[in-house]
Amino acid sequence: MSINRIAMIGLVACTPILGGCLIMKASTETITGDYIGEQSFQQIKPGTTTAEWVESVIGKPTRTSKTKNSELWIYDYQNVKRSKGYIFLLLADGSEKTIKSTAYIEIKDGIVINAWRE
């Protein structure tokens, strides 16, 4: 039996044993900017929540915009998801997905009148 044939038989025999160890997947998620967590965002009640509460709990907005009758507080953020797959220390696959989002809080006379995300 040749050495190449013995090596091939050895590799085939060991593959089921090592199979789980040869493939790895890693993923990360990073949120940057002025992200408002879901629990905090749900606490904003139009007609009840004050601008003072929003600023003290959520923080200052990324930017503001004046409308004819109100002020819009704008919170910009982005979510970056990275995924990599490896087969025995070789990069097999990689992807990155960036989602840019914005939360808007409309305030009139110191009271929230509307809040939404895009």
Mean pLDDT of 47-69: 95
| pLDDT at residue 115 tops 80 | yes
Task: Enumerate the H helices of the chain as residue ranges.
Answer: 3-22, 38-42, 51-57
* Contact call for residues 100 and 78 (beta carbons, < 8 A): yes
Per-residue pLDDT tens over the stretch 60-84? 999 999 999 999 999 999 988 888 7
Spell out the residues 6+ positions from residue 3 whose beta carbon is closer than 8 angstroms to its own. Answer: none
What is this structure's pTM? 0.66
Pair of tokens at residue 34: 């002025």
Q: Determine what percent of the chain is predicted with pLDDT higher than 90.
A: 48
Beta bridge partners, 22, equal none
φ, ψ at 2 (rounded to 5°)? -75, 160
